[in-house]
Amino acid sequence: MSDLKVDFMLLEMAEKDLGTLKHEFDNLEKRRDETEDLWGHRGVRDAMGEFAGNMDRSRKKLSESLQVLGEQISATLQAFRDAEDELVTAWEKE
């Protein structure tokens, strides 16, 4: 029989990191608008605007995927915590 080892800290860090990534992706458009004047030449600005527009669609899909993955990690973390609590309670009753 093998032992199951769960790294709670790793799961918690992954959950936090995914939340941070999602926040960053969700706020990229704001930063794009803030830096538009930095690009100087109109052609460069137009190219960056086109790129950003294309990226908006991809970013939305990625943001949704990050949300789902974060929720799955949260659920996994909670399930392992609950299982650990149940095992401790059962062990203490013996």
In the chain, where the domains are located: 8-93
40: part of which helix (H) or strand (E)? none
**Residue that wins the pLDDT comparison between 2 and 66:** 66
State the average pLDDT for the chain.
84
C-beta atoms surrounding 66 within 10 Å: 20
Please, what is the end-to-end C-alpha distance for the chain in angstroms?
A: 21
Is the per-residue pLDDT at 93 higher than 60? yes
What span, in angstroms and rounded, lies between the C-alpha atoms of 3 and 17? 27
What pLDDT, in 10s, does the model give residues 19-39? 999 988 888 767 666 666 666
pTM: predicted TM-score of the whole model, two decimal places: 0.68
CB 59 within 8 Å of CB 28: yes
Q: Which residue has the tokens 């970013």?
A: 59
Question: If you average pLDDT over residues 3-28, what whole number do you get?
Answer: 90
Amino acid identity, residue 52? A
